[in-house]
């Protein structure tokens, strides 16, 4: 094979420019984060009537409520009067929500309860917070800022049938939550999750625990998963790491029912807020479950440190892009989806 033919086998990754350019970032917010289903939280966060939480999607503050009729709803967290952010806290329980500017109050179903400066004037379309599509699947809450988007069930059929392998998903409780501001582009964090070429070098404890000679990476429709087994054990002790388009990671480790999720909130081209959450069957954790959290936390910190190191190099003019190894196929699949969304 000639050198030229060999070089043709080297597939270029996304250009590094796409990881550092603020205009690309703004387009991604519009074309990816404002048009796709985004995981925002779990039903265990809004168990009771009055429970609510806020989250950021596509640069917008989003409010999720559990109203008196038992329904979960999602709204833009923006006052219809003049645009103030209504709910300031990350979570809580309230009977009525209040905008602190002119004191409008809202019921949990989003309707205006009182608008003091309008007395009895008909508020027309301004009589309610602006609602957003919301769907719950396997106790996970997803929203879509695109009013016309097809339903999650239509878009993620293959994923939903894959998740049927975990009957315990609907019984999980959110037990712990952490955040870290990563100084890197959100795609660099996803890229890191989608390959394990770095595992033997960067994750000593992970490589000791899992059989890396028995590691598969499977790209699927709108998600991919990686799968391994605990070293020297049978395949009942399997771990699966899912990436779900565009910014969600979900892992299920061996042992009693569990799930860990990572949500990436893009802040700007060079910064991403990672929200990571641990779900178990009971709020009271066993020693084994505490050890699992420590293990996952350590691997994650190793990853985030690496990604920050990578991001500083992505500004360099040395190369315009990288190349995929044969086992970086899920990363390539992700990049193709990004390019398709930005077309
Ligand atoms: S902006 Fe909210 S009450 Fe005026
Ligand atoms: Fe890693």
* pLDDT tens digits, 152-164: 999 999 999 999 9
Quote the pLDDT of residue 337.
98
**Superfamily, domain 1-35+170-343:** Naphthalene 1,2-dioxygenase Alpha Subunit; Chain A, domain 1 (3.90.380.10)
> 129 CA to middle of ligand 1, Å?
12
Q: Grade residue 5 by pLDDT with cuts at 50, 70 and 90.
A: low
Q: Grade residue 6 by pLDDT with cuts at 50, 70 and 90.
A: low
Rounded to a whole number of angstroms, the CA Rg of the chain reads 22
Q: Nearest C-alpha to atom 3 of ligand 1 is from which residue?
A: 102
Task: Tell the burial category of 6 from Cβ atoms under 10 Å away from its Cβ (0-12, 13-18, 19+).
Answer: exposed
Q: What is the DSSP string of 124-149?
A: GGGSBPPEEEEEEETTEEEEES-TTP
Give the tens place of pLDDT for each residue, 219-233. Answer: 999 999 999 998 877
> 66 CA to middle of ligand 2, Å?
36
Lowest mean pLDDT among 177-186, 209-218, 301-310: 209-218
Nearest-ligand number for the alpha carbon of 117: 1
Quote the pLDDT of residue 256.
87
| Residues contacting 270, CB < 8 A, separation 6+ | 20, 183, 184, 185, 311
What the block records as the tokens of 33 is 């984060």
Residue whose CB lies within 8 A of the most ligand 1 atoms, among 61, 78, 85, 104, for a mutation test: 104
User: What are the residue boundaries of the structural domains of the chain, listed by start?
Assistant: 1-35+170-343, 38-155
Same fold yes or no, 1-35+170-343 and 38-155: no
Give the tens place of pLDDT for each residue, 38-92. Answer: 999 999 999 999 999 999 999 999 999 999 999 999 999 999 999 999 999 999 9
Q: Grade residue 236 by pLDDT with cuts at 50, 70 and 90.
A: confident
**Superfamily, domain 38-155:** Rieske [2Fe-2S] iron-sulphur domain (2.102.10.10)
Q: Grade residue 2 by pLDDT with cuts at 50, 70 and 90.
A: low
Cα 30 to Cα 23: distance, rounded to the nearest angstrom = 11
């Amino acid at each position: 094979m000639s050198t030229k033919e060999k070089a043709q086998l080297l597939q270029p990754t996304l250009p590094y420019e796409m990881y550092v350019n603020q205009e690309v970032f703004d387009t991604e917010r519009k074309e990816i984060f404002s048009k796709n289903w985004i995981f925002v939280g779990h039903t265990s966060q809004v168990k009771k009537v009055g429970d609510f939480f806020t989250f950021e999607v596509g640069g917008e503050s989003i409010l999720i409520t559990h109203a008196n009729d038992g329904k979960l709803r999602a709204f833009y967290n923006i006052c219809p009067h003049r645009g103030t952010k209504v709910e300031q806290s990350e979570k809580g329980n309230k009977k009525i929500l209040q905008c602190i500017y002119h004191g409008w109050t809202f019921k949990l179903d989003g309707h205006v309860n009182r608008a003091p400066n309008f007395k009895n004037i008909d508020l027309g379309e301004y009589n309610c917070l602006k609602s957003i599509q919301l769907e719950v699947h396997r106790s996970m809450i997803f929203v879509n800022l695109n009013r016309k988007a097809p339903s999650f069930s239509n878009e993620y059929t293959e994923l939903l049938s894959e998740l049927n392998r975990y009957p315990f998903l609907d019984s999980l409780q959110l037990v712990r939550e952490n955040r870290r501001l990563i100084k890197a582009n959100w795609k660099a964090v996803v890229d890191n999750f989608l390959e394990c070429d770095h595992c033997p070098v960067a994750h000593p404890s992970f490589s000791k625990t899992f059989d890396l000679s028995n590691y598969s990476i499977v790209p699927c429709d709108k998600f991919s998963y990686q799968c391994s087994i605990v070293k020297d054990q049978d395949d009942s002790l399997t771990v699966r790491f899912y990436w779900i388009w565009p910014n969600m990671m979900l892992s299920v480790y061996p042992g009693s029912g569990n799930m860990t999720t990572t949500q990436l909130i893009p802040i700007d081209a060079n910064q991403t807020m990672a929200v990571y959450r641990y779900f178990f069957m009971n709020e009271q954790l066993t020693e084994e479950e505490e050890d699992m959290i420590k293990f996952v936390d350590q691997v994650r910190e190793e990853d985030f440190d690496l990604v920050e190191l990578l991001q500083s190099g992505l500004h360099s003019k040395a190369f315009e892009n990288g190349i995929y190894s044969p086992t970086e196929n899920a990363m390539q699949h992700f990049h193709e989806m990004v390019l398709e969304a930005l077309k």
